[in-house]
Structure formats: structure tokens, C-alpha cells
Homo-oligomer: A and B are copies of this chain.
Amino acid sequence: MYRGGMPRTKGDHEARRRDVSAAVWQVMATRGFAGLTLRAVAAELGATTGLLTHYFPTKRALVEYALDLLEQRTVARPRRSTGPGLAALRDALLDILPLTPDATDSNRIWVASWDTALADPAIGADHARKYAESRARLAQRVAAAQALGELPPGDPDRIAAGAQSFVLGLVVQSLLDPDRFPPERQTELLDDHLAALTARLA
């Protein structure tokens, strides 16, 4: 029986878990969900496909693990916090954009996950819920900016839905064409979007 790579202690087990997570992340960031296979993760880890089946008995188990990992890393990512009101809305939108290598990897994996989410009703419903929660958090920041007189009146949910759409589309453009959408350009376009929202105040 093959035991070479199997964990023997709790510490071994935790270390191996971290190695597996890092390998799954790396495969997703370079090959996307279409390239996420037990074989590719095993190769990244320098392990056998047989070992991986102890962690992921099915392709679906691997995909679910990958989506959990994406969610965890998204929740745990560092956040900007430069001020209240409109500054806080801008911070939240900047936090989404692929302005750093880490944020680029995460976004690349989010974009890749959409294909899976659209093909699988359960994953799709979970994605819809996550984006609705994200919109609700943006709407709170919109309402706070309105309370400070930094944004004109209007349905905060609607302004948040527009801002979320804008940022997600900018993520897609920036990933597909990083030469034409470097970080400065992304920031400039976000500031254009915010300036247009505030224009009715002027």
C-alpha cells in the first residue's frame, strides 16, 4: 500500500493541506477551471494522482474545494481604508480590481469560475448569493456617501449594481488585455465612473 505521501501526524496533515491548497491555487491561476484536474494538481505538488484522490475522490470535490479556497482568500485579502463616504466606496471598488499580482490571480480565478457557475445550478446559486451580498455592502457605502452629501440622491442598490457591473467588466478587460489596462488606467477609469456619479452634484 502506498504511504509515502500520507500524513502521519496532525502537523504533517496541516502542512500537507497547505501544500495542496497552494497547488490547487497555482493550477487555477495559470490554467483556469477548465485546466483544474487531479493530474495537474498532482504534477504541481510533485505527488501522484493516487495521493490526490485521498483528498478529492471526484472532480466535483476538487472543484468545490477550489471554490471554497477562492472564497476564503477573497474574504481574507487585505482591504484599503482611507476614509468614510465616497472614499470608502472607492476603496471597496479598488479592492476588487486586479491592481497587484495577488489580486490578478484571484480575479483570474473568479472569472474562470463563471463558466463552472453557469453550468452548475448549485454553484451558480451560490455565486449569485455572493455577488448580491457584495452589492449590499457597496450599497451601504453608497448610502453613507449620500448621507455626507458626496453623492446625489438615488436608490443606493441601483447605484451599487451599476458600480459593481462597471468594476466586474473592468476586471475582465484588464485580465484579457493587461497591456492596455495597466493599474493606472484601471484607476483612472474607476475615477471617471465615480466622477460621473457625482456630476449631478456640481
Q: Contact size class for A?
A: 35 or more
Q: Indicate with 1 or 0, residue by residue over A179-202, a CB within 8 angstroms of chain B CB atoms.
A: 010000000110011001101101
Report B-chain residues with C-beta under 8 Å of the C-beta of A171: 169
Interface of A is mostly: helix
Q: Are B172 and A170 in contact (CB under 8 A)?
A: no
Q: For the complex formed by this chain, how many copies does it contain in all?
A: 2
Please measure, in the bound complex, the distance between the C-alpha atom of A15 and the C-alpha atom of B163, giving whole angstroms: 46
Report B-chain residues with C-beta under 8 Å of the C-beta of A114: 111-112, 114-115, 172, 175-176
Known: A30-B119, A34-B116, A200-B199. A162 touches B173 (CB 8 A): no
Please measure, in the bound complex, the distance between the C-alpha atom of A138 and the C-alpha atom of B128, giving whole angstroms: 29
Partner-B contacts on A (CB < 8 A)? 30-35, 108, 111-112, 114-119, 124, 127-128, 131-132, 158-159, 161-162, 164-173, 175-177, 180, 188-189, 192-193, 196-197, 199-200, 202
